[in-house]
């Protein structure tokens, strides 16, 4: 008991220390911001674009919004009919569009398709959007199998998409990479496979950005809240969903000025980010208390419905 209490005291000490450091950094932030505005490279409207996870939702809407005469887009996804639907929308806006039915976990085939497109149309913008969440995986599968499938798409599939083109972007000293993650990466009471895989995406994207900065290549991490897309259909009754049009506008604006991270909605980002700053030992009691209140509320509502 005393040892556990001592551990919590250390956590409180580190929390105070983190607060002091954050305050100092806040004071110095205006200088850092001005310096970054001077040094940061911005990009023109991309002409040759690759988008994975483009069967609809965020990927499909990004493809549509980037479509204009002179733009060439290569769409990747798992459903041919849905890709054709997105392709038609893009063509109506004047873009030249190719479709590729490829699983992003098929490393060799995906690499071949990516490099073939880049040979013909040097890529200006690569958007790694394909993703999977446990609620989309067959419910009869156990935790191990669900987690393996999610990680295969969200981690290995993302790397299979990004890494083949990195040497070419470095050589051309131009181009952008956009990696779609999630605000759920900042919290630990969601699906473990999804949150864990998106945490990997965060670290990978921001570290890759630092590496490619020297080559004039931009990398932007996008951490949206829950979007009103097919991926979130099972969550519509439990969380507030952000309209896809709003998400696309914020992503495009962020890519235009080459920011490190695009996040939305702001209130959800603030909540999840601040929650993530708290040490896990202090965060856990709060999480358990919230879960307890939710269970009590659910029990109370079920009794009320039964009695009425």
Domain shared by 157 and 228, yes or no: yes
Q: Does pLDDT of 117 surpass 60?
A: yes
Q: Tell me whether residue 252 is exposed, middle or buried, using C-beta atoms within 10 angstroms of its C-beta: 0 to 12, 13 to 18, 19 or more.
A: middle
Do 234 and 291 lie in one domain? The reply is: no
- Residues 250, 284: one domain? no
Classify residue 256 as exposed, middle or buried by CB count within 10 Å of its CB (0-12, 13-18, 19+).
middle
Q: Please count the structural domains in the chain.
A: 2
pLDDT, one tens digit per residue, over 185-196 is: 998 867 999 999
Give 125's strand partners: 49, 176
Q: Do 216 and 296 sit in the same domain of this protein? A: no
- 123 and 186 fall within a common domain: yes
Q: What is the pLDDT of residue 230?
A: 66
**In a domain? residue 298:** yes
Q: 159 in a domain, yes or no?
A: yes
CA–CA dist 25, 17 (Å, integer): 12
Partners of 101 in beta bridges: 77
pLDDT tens-digit readout, 136-150: 999 999 999 999 999
Domain that includes residue 219, residue range? 39-275
* DSSP 8-state assignment for residue 22: H
Distance CA 73, CA 157 (A): 20
Q: What is the pLDDT of residue 302?
A: 63
Q: Are 47 and 73 in contact (CB under 8 A)?
A: no
86-90, 178-182, 278-282, 284-288: which has the minimum mean pLDDT?
284-288
Residue 236 lies in a domain: yes
pLDDT tens profile 163-173? 999 999 999 99
Flag whether pLDDT at 158 surpasses 80.
yes
Does residue 290 sit in the same domain as residue 158? no
Q: What is the pLDDT of residue 254?
A: 98
CATH at residue 198: 3.40.50.720
| 28 belongs to a structural domain | no
| 221-274: pLDDT as tens digits | 999 998 887 665 555 555 678 899 999 999 999 999 999 999 999 988 998 888
Per-residue model confidence (pLDDT) at position 11: 84
**Predicted pLDDT at 120:** 99
Place of tokens 């208390």: 289
Is there a domain that residue 288 lies in?
Answer: yes
Does residue 33 belong to any structural domain of this protein?
no
3-state helix, strand and coil shares in percent for the chain, rounded to the nearest 5? 65, 10, 25
Q: Are residues 269 and 290 in the same domain?
A: no
* 215 in any annotated domain: yes
Mean residue pLDDT across the chain: 91
The residue with greater pLDDT, 187 or 47, is 47
* 74-210-60 Cα angle (round to 5): 25
Kindly state whether residues 176 and 122 are assigned to the same domain.
yes
**Does 25 map to a domain?**
no
**Residues 251 and 304 grouped into a single domain:** no
Check whether residue 294 and residue 256 sit in a common domain. Answer: no
DSSP state for residue 121 in the 8-state scheme? S
For the question of whether the overall pTM of this predicted structure is more than 0.85, the answer is: yes
> Do 261 and 284 share a structural domain?
no
> For residues 153 and 182, what is the distance between their CA atoms, to the nearest angstrom?
14
Using CB atoms within 10 Å of the CB of residue 264, give its burial: 0 to 12 exposed, 13 to 18 middle, 19+ buried: buried
Residue 133 is predicted with a pLDDT of: 94
pLDDT score recorded for residue 206: 98
């Amino acid at each position: 008991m005393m040892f556990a209490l001592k551990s919590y005291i250390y956590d409180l000490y580190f929390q105070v220390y983190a607060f002091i450091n954050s305050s100092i950094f806040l004071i110095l932030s205006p200088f850092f911001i001005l310096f970054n505005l001077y040094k940061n490279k911005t990009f023109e409207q991309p002409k040759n674009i690759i988008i994975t996870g483009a069967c609809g939702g965020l990927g499909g809407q990004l493809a549509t919004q980037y479509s204009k005469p002179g733009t060439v887009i290569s769409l990747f996804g798992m459903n041919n009919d849905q890709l054709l639907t997105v392709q038609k929308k893009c063509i109506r806006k004047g873009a030249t569009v190719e479709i590729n039915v490829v699983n992003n976990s098929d490393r060799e085939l995906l690499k071949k398709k990516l490099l073939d497109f880049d040979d013909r149309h040097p890529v200006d913008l690569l958007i790694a959007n394909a993703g999977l969440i446990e609620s989309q995986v067959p419910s009869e599968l156990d935790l191990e199998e669900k987690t393996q499938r999610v990680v295969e798409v969200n981690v290995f599939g993302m790397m299979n998409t990004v890494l083949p083109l990195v040497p070419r972007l470095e050589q051309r000293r131009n181009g952008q990479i956009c990696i779609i993650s999630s605000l759920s990466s900042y919290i630990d009471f969601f699906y473990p496979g999804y949150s864990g895989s998106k945490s990997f995406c965060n670290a990978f994207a921001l570290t890759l950005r630092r590496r490619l900065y020297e080559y004039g290549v931009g990398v932007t991490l996008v951490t949206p809240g829950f979007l009103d897309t097919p991926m979130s259909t099972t969550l519509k009754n439990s969380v507030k969903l952000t309209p896809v049009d709003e998400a696309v506008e914020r992503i495009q604006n962020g890519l235009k000025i080459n920011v490190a991270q695009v996040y939305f909605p702001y209130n959800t980002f603030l909540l999840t980010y601040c929650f993530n700053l708290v040490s896990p030992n202090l965060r856990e009691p709060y999480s358990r208390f919230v879960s307890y209140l939710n269970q009590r509320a659910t029990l109370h509502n079920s009794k009320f419905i039964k009695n009425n």
